[in-house]
A and B are shown apart, each in its own frame.
Chain A
């Protein structure tokens, strides 16, 4: 479904607006033009005012921001603000958050994809009301014509004439005209709805074929959406045009994070590591030059493959850790995880002495990478410590913010801001880098 991830339309982002660290949640609208709901949580004291401005990410409109809308402080600890913004056209937008307070002012641009995700049916109550009004107006129109023909030329006080030929003809013609208008109106509405349904987002597909002994060839397929969508305008995200995830299905007991090379527009290939046979879900994350990110989804059945071990940025998981070491999800077991609620998923690696290790390294410029996958496959989200926004999108929005987000050293705890979109069971794969090797941990989450 949604771009940049599957089934996860909300945007979660953690960054600094000048001196203020902020955690931002943006819930884009389902239809465009539509209203985006924005929550900004200040992670430190001192923020007095939050202002929000939406602009398209690229193009001439990105240089002309409209007047900013203020965000309102929410009740509670006073550090959360909420606001709404209209996103008026389909494309890659960014929400500028300006935070002001005692330490001055700072700005944080957050990329937001604006796409029509579905056609909403009309609310039943509204439908009935409108049909009733329409009937009233139609009958009223005919009645006005009839009254006009019958009575308008009589002086006041005179009795009105009964039905005569003229009245019948006039009423008949008026009825015909009204019915024709209703029919024409319905045809117009239906045609507009059909045009709009073509604009509803249709995700890219990806077909994968195995070439012996261990070469995977991939083709991105476009089911047809906006003519503007191209496959030859991809920009690299940390040096890779595509981040590919292979997840064995349905057990999700093996996950591979690979980086295929592009051989032609829309065509990629990669060498596979050794993997057990089975059905694999394929998720390919790409970013267009406009900053618009998409996840192409596919599936394939693989036999047991004898391949080369993963190297460089590629990862194979879940990892069997050396004895004594394990990846731990830091969370309060008693508190339930609630759908759509933004929170921090924090992880660390503990050593044999039970203490967190201190030698984590940046993995592709980030503290780590996390994949949230729902049991039924309806959700796939690729999240970084900065949030659910692909780094390439951030780079298009603001090269300066992108540079600021590059981590050169990684703390013992790596946190991912995210809110799982729907209730159900999820598997979370977390990739951290240590001693030059990428390790993958697997966790299960039950969301209510």
Chain B
């Protein structure tokens, strides 16, 4: 990609963004246990999202140099997960491995994608303005921006996901897998009270620290990747 030009370069850049999108899917699936809708009012889910997402977005943006790199990567992630959410339940299935706590008759998908596309869009918008800054300054501001956009968007959306309006095939809140009992948090649309107020504040603080660190690592790696020639 760094050695080509014109049409070939653009194609390779798209390929790079696609791979970055898939990497984001893989990373966020690894932490599915922390980012299920029942945990979206706990700091732990924001902590893991802030650990894993900024680095991918920063690398994608720096290395390809495209204007809407981060938005593209998060869009690929979102489309993939929406595909899983909407297509998997179309197939019938039976539980094969006990204990089975409630009957399911179709494949159960993981859940609505996280709204990381929102902070990605804002970052894409504002990154060209920071081009002249030092990298550590860019990392701090980008990290703050990431969390400052993600939280106010994801938190109320999580409320929506737990509400009756989301209990349909489009938003997927009516699904829970057969290993979960009908009294579980997922089945009864409640948030798990994982943290007390102090732990919550500490968790959010850590999330911010991770967002900045992740951004910085991603920017550094992106700069280096831009220079890679073999």
Contacts and interface: CB of A to CB of B under 8 A. Distances in A.
Interface of A: 53-56, 59-61, 64-67, 86, 88-89, 148, 151-156
A154 B229 contact: yes
B99 A61 contact: yes
Nearest to A153: B227
B97 A64 contact: no
A64 B230 contact: no
A156 B182 contact: no
Nearest to B183: A60
A67 B181 CA distance: 18
A67 B101 CA distance: 13
A55 B229 contact: no
A303 B14 CA distance: 89
A64 B95 contact: yes
B96 A56 contact: no
A61 B101 contact: yes
Contacts of A156: 229-230
16 contacts: A53-B98, A59-B99, A65-B100, A66-B94, A66-B96, A66-B97, A66-B98, A66-B100, A67-B95, A89-B99, A151-B230, A152-B224, A152-B230, A153-B229, A154-B230, A156-B229
Given A155-B230, A156-B229, A156-B230, A60 B3 contact: no
Contacts of B87: none
Nearest to A156: B230
A88 B97 CA distance: 8
Contacts, number: 59
Interface of B is mostly: loop
B11 interface: no
Nearest to B103: A64
A34 to B, nearest CB: 13
B175 interface: no
Contact of B95 (A56, A66, A89, A153): A66
B3 A155 contact: yes
B97 A86 contact: yes
B224 to A, nearest CB: 8
Contact of B100 (A61, A86, A148, A152): A61
Interface string B194-225: 00000000000000000000000000000010
Contact of B96 (A59, A67, A154): A67
B178 interface: yes
Residue among A55, A60, A86, A89 with most chain B CB within 10 A: A60
A153 B3 CA distance: 11
B230 A56 contact: no
A65 B102 CA distance: 10
A68 to B, nearest CB: 9
B125 interface: no
Interface in B111-162: none
Contacts of B230: 151-152, 154-156
B228 interface: yes
Given A64-B103, A155-B3, A56 B229 contact: no
Contacts of A154: 229-230
A60 B98 contact: no
A66 B100 CA distance: 6
Nearest to A55: B98
A86 B96 CA distance: 10
Nearest to B3: A155
Interface string B37-60: 000000000000000000000000
A86 B100 CA distance: 13
Contact of B182 (A60, A89, A151): A60
B173 to A, nearest CB: 21
Contacts of B182: 60
